[in-house]
C-alpha cells in the first residue's frame, strides 16, 4: 500500500551537507504495524516527516495507493494529509482548546459541517476511552490522556495511515503499554496501517509486525520482528535486541559453567513462535541419557508469537551429547553451543 | 474640604478631559491592536523557517518598525502634522492625536505580538500542517489563539503607554487630562490642577492594568 523508493533527504548547513535519510526503500502492506527503530540522530524522525512531506524529500518517491506524494502540488497534498494521521512525542495539542475542540480541529480543516462533527468527535472520544473529559483542557490531563486525545485527533478524518513519531517516548512504562494496546486495538478494529518510529525495542516487540532498523540515515536491516529478534545481523540491531533480552547481559555469569570437559556442553536454545510452547527439555530427558541443568531462561512475547531463550548445561557421554544436540536441532529450535573464548 | 485643598479644580472640566483621554486611548488602542497584530504577524511569518519566509519583506518590516520605535513620541507628533492635517482635516483636538498615537504605539506592540507568536509551540504548528491546514487556518486557529495571553498582556502594556502618549499629545492641544494639566495647571501656575490630573491618570492606568490582567488570566488555559 505504501511504497517508498530511494528516499533521500539532505540538509545544507553552513559548513557541510548532512544526509539525514539515505536512499531508503520500503514496502508497507495495508493493515500492517511497521516499526522503524534507531538511535537518536539515525534519521528516523526525518524519515517519518518525509512521508507526509512535513520535510521535503531531496530524492525518491513515496507512493500511497499508487499516488506519488512527492509530486503532488500543495493543495492536493493538503487534502492528502487529511488522510494521513500523525501523533507526536509531545502530543502537540492546542492548549487553548478543550479535548472536544482539539479532536474537532481536523474536521474543521476538512470542512465537515458542525452537526456532523459532533457525532464523529463523540465517537472518537469513546474509542480512545476519554468519555467524560470532553470539556477538559489539555493542561488538566495526564500524559497518557493527552496522547489519547492526539490519537483521536489523528483518526478524525478516517486516515489510511497513522504515523507515530516517538508516540510513547514521553510516557512512563505503564502508560506506554496502555497506549500501545490502544494502537493495536485500533489497528485491528479499523484495519489501519501504522508506521511507528521509536528508539525503544520493547515498543517494536509488543506491537509491530515488521521492523526496519535505521542507522546514519540508512535502513541497515528489515524484516519480520521475530526474525530480526532471533537472528539480528547488523551490530546496531544486535544492540537493540540485547537491550530487550536481559539474559544477554548475563552471559558472562555463565562462564563458570563453560569448560573444556568432554562430558559437558552449555547450549543456548532459541524457541520461536509456536515452537516456544514445546516441552523440548522433558522430551530430551526422556529420550537420551543426559542430565540437564537449566541455567537461565526467558520468554518474550511479540505480535507474531513468542520467542524464548534458554541456557542449559548438558552432562553425559560425548557421543550422546552430540546426538542430543542434533536431535534438538532437528526439532527446529535454534541451538548454539557455547564455548570458552 | 475639596474646594479649600484644590481651589482651582473645576470638576466639569475634569470629566470632559477624562473622557477625551479615554476616547483617545481606547480608539488609538483599537487601531494599535489591529495594526500591531498585522505587523507582528508579518514580522513572524516572514522570519526564517516560518510560513511565508521572505528575507526582504522581513527586513523592510523590521526596519520600519525599528525606525518608528526610535522616534521620540513628541517629535513623531510634529513630524506627522502634515499627514494628520491631510487625514483628519485638522491638527487640533483629540481626533487629531489619533494617527500619531497609533503610528507611535503600533510598532512597539508589533514586537510584543511577534514575541508572543514565537512562543507558540512549533510542534502544534507542525501538527496543524500534518492535518492539512491552510496558512489562513494556521494563522487564525492556531497562531493567534495560542498566543492570545501574550497578545492581551501586550495590548495592556501598550494601552498604558498610550495613556502617557495622550498626555504628551495634550500638551500640543489634543485635549484630555494632559492638556488640562498643562494649560489650566502648569501655565496658570495652578499646581492643584496638575496634581488632580495626575491622580486621574494614575487611576485610569490602574483600571486598564486590572482589566488586562483579568482578561489574560481568564483566557490562559495552560
- State whether B130 and A54 contact (CB < 8 Å): yes
Structure confidence at residue A251 (pLDDT): 64
Instruction: Please report the pLDDT score of residue B58 as a whole number.
Output: 96
How close A143 gets to chain B, by Cα (Å)? 14
Q: How far is A238 from chain B (nearest CA, A)?
A: 33
Q: pLDDT at position A148, please?
A: 96
CA distance A83 to chain B (A): 8
**Burial tier of B42 (Cβ tally within 10 Å: 0-12, 13-18, 19+):** buried
Q: Name the β-bridge partners of A211.
A: A35, A223
pTM: 0.85
- In chain B, residues with a C-beta closer than 8 Å to the C-beta of A155 are none
Q: Where in chain A is the domain with CATH 3.40.50.300?
A: 2-244
CB B91 within 8 A of CB B85: yes
Report yes or no: A62 and A223 within 8 Å, Cβ to Cβ: no
HEC readout, chain A? CEEEEEEEEEEECCCCEEEEEEEEEEEECCCCEEEEECCCCCCHHHHHHHHCCCCCCCEEEEEECCEEHHHCCHHHHHHHHCCEEEECCCCCCCCCCCHHHHHHHHHHHCCCCHHHHHHHHHHHHHHCCCCCCCCCCHHHCCHHHHHHHHHHHHHCCCCCEEEEECCCCCCCHHHHHHHHHHHHHHHHHHCCEEEEEECCHHHHHHHCCEEEEEECCEEEEEEEHHHHHHCCCCHHHHHHHHHHCHHHHHHHHHHHHCCCCCCEEEEEEEEEHHHHHCCHHHHHHHHCCCEEEEEEEEEEEECCEEEEEEEEEEECCHHHHHHHHHHHHHCCCEEEEECCC
> Are residues A86 and B130 in contact, defined by beta-carbon separation less than 8 angstroms?
yes
CA distance A56 to chain B (A): 13
Residue by residue, pLDDT tens for chain A (341 residues) are 899 999 999 988 888 888 999 999 999 999 999 999 999 889 999 999 999 999 999 999 999 998 999 999 999 999 999 999 999 999 999 999 999 999 999 999 999 999 999 999 999 999 999 999 999 999 999 999 999 999 999 999 999 999 999 999 999 999 999 999 999 999 999 999 999 999 998 899 899 999 999 999 999 999 998 888 878 888 888 888 877 766 665 666 777 777 777 788 888 888 877 665 677 888 888 888 888 888 888 777 777 777 788 888 888 888 888 888 888 888 878 888 887 64
Instruction: Give the residue on B whose Cα is nearest the Cα of A54.
Output: B130
Of B123, B131, B222, the CB nearest to A139: B222
Domain with CATH 3.30.70.260 in chain A: 248-337
B130 vs A105: CB contact, 8 Å cut-off?
no
Q: Does A137 touch chain B (CB under 8 A)?
A: yes
Low-confidence ranges of chain B (pLDDT < 70): none
Test mutation, A95, A135, A165, chain B, max B CBs within 10 A: A95
Q: What is the pLDDT of residue A203?
A: 92
Interface test with chain A among B123, B127, B139, by most A beta carbons within 10 Å: B127
So what CATH class is B9-219?
A: mainly alpha
CATH-assigned architecture of domain A2-244: 3-Layer(aba) Sandwich (3.40)
Residue reference for cell 494632559: B178
- What is the structure's pLDDT at A249? 57
Second CATH level (architecture) for the domain A248-337: 2-Layer Sandwich (3.30)
Whether residue B127 and residue A86 make contact (CB cut-off 8 A), yes or no, is yes
Asked if A95's CB is within 8 angstroms of B132's CB, the reply is: no
C-alpha A308/C-alpha A280 separation (Å) is 12
Q: Closest Cα of chain B to A69: distance in Å?
A: 13
CA-based angle B105:B114:B155, to the nearest 5?
40
Say if the Cβ atoms of B145 and A96 lie within 8 Å: yes
Question: What's residue A245's pLDDT?
Answer: 67
A148 and A138 Cβ atoms separated by less than 8 Å: no
Contact B130 A95 (CB under 8 A): no
Model pLDDT, residue B90:
81
CB contact under 8 A, A139 and B148: no
Amino acid at each position: 500500500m505504501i511504497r517508498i523508493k530511494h528516499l533521500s533527504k539532505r540538509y545544507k548547513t553552513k559548513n557541510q551537507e548532512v544526509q539525514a535519510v539515505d536512499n531508503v526503500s520500503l514496502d508497507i502492506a495495508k493493515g500492517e504495524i511497521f516499526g522503524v527503530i534507531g538511535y537518536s540522530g539515525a534519521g528516523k524522525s526525518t524519515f517519518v516527516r518525509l512521508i507526509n512531506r512535513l520535510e521535503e524529500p531531496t530524492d525518491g518517491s513515496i507512493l500511497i495507493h499508487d499516488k506519488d506524494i512527492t509530486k503532488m502540488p500543495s493543495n492536493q497534498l493538503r487534502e492528502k494529509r487529511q488522510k494521513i494521521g500523525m501523533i507526536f512525542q509531545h502530543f502537540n495539542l492546542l492548549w487553548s482548546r478543550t479535548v472536544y475542540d482539539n479532536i474537532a480541529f481536523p474536521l474543521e480543516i476538512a470542512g465537515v459541517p458542525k452537526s456532523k462533527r459532533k457525532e464523529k468527535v463523540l465517537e472518537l472520544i469513546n474509542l480512545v476511552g476519554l468519555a467524560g473529559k470532553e470539556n477538559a483542557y489539555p493542561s488538566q490531563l495526564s500524559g497518557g490522556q493527552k496522547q489519547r486525545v492526539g490519537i483521536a485527533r489523528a483518526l478524525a478524518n478516517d486516515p489510511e495511515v497513522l504515523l507515530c513519531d516517538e508516540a510513547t517516548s514521553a510516557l512512563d512504562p505503564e502508560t506506554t503499554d496502555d497506549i500501545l494496546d490502544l494502537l493495536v486495538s485500533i489497528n485491528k478494529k479499523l484495519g489501519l496501517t501504522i508506521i511507528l518510529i521509536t528508539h525503544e525495542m520493547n515498543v517494536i516487540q509488543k506491537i509491530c509486525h515488521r521492523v526496519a532498523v535505521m542507522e546514519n540515515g540508512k535502513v541497515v536491516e528489515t524484516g519480520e520482528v521475530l526474525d530480526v529478534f532471533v537472528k539480528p545481523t547488523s551490530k546496531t540491531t544486535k544492540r537493540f535486541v540485547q537491550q530487550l533480552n536481559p539474559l544477554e547481559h548475563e552471559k558472562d555469569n555463565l562462564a563458570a559453567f563453560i569448560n573444556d570437559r568432554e562430558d559437558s556442553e552449555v547450549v543456548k536454545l532459541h524457541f520461536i513462535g509456536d515452537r516456544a510452547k514445546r516441552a523440548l527439555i522433558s522430551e530430551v530427558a526422556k529420550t537420551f541419557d543426559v542430565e540437564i541443568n537449566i541455567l537461565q531462561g526467558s520468554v518474550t512475547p511479540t505480535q507474531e508469537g513468542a520467542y524464548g531463550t534458554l541456557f542449559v548445561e548438558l552432562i553425559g557421554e560425548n557421543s550422546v551429547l552430540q546426538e542430543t544436540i542434533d536431535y534438538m536441532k532437528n526439532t527446529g529450535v535454534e541451538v548454539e553451543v557455547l564455548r570458552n573464548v | 474640604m475639596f474646594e479649600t485643598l484644590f481651589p482651582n479644580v473645576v470638576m466639569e472640566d475634569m470629566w470632559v478631559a477624562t473622557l477625551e483621554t479615554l476616547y483617545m486611548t481606547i480608539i488609538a488602542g483599537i487601531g494599535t491592536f489591529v495594526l500591531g497584530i498585522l505587523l507582528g504577524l508579518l514580522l513572524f511569518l516572514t522570519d526564517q523557517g516560518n510560513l511565508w519566509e521572505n528575507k526582504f519583506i522581513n527586513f523592510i518590516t523590521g526596519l520600519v518598525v525599528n525606525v518608528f520605535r526610535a522616534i521620540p513620541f513628541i517629535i513623531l507628533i510634529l513630524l506627522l502634522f502634515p499627514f494628520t492635517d491631510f487625514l483628519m482635516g485638522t491638527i487640533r483636538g483629540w481626533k487629531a492625536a489619533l494617527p500619531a498615537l497609533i503610528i507611535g504605539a503600533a510598532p512597539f506592540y508589533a514586537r510584543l505580538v511577534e514575541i508572543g507568536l514565537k512562543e507558540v509551540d512549533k510542534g502544534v504548528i507542525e501538527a496543524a500542517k500534518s492535518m492539512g491546514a491552510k496558512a489562513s487556518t494556521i494563522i487564525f486557529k492556531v497562531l493567534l489563539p495560542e498566543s492570545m495571553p501574550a497578545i492581551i498582556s501586550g495590548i495592556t502594556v501598550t494601552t498604558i503607554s498610550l495613556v502617557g502618549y495622550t498626555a504628551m499629545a495634550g500638551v500640543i492641544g489634543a485635549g484630555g487630562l494632559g492638556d488640562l494639566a498643562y494649560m489650566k495647571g502648569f501655565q496658570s501656575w495652578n499646581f492643584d490642577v496638575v496634581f488632580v490630573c495626575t491622580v486621574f491618570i494614575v487611576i485610569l492606568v490602574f483600571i486598564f492594568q486590572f482589566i488586562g490582567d483579568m482578561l489574560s488570566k481568564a483566557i490562559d488555559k495552560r
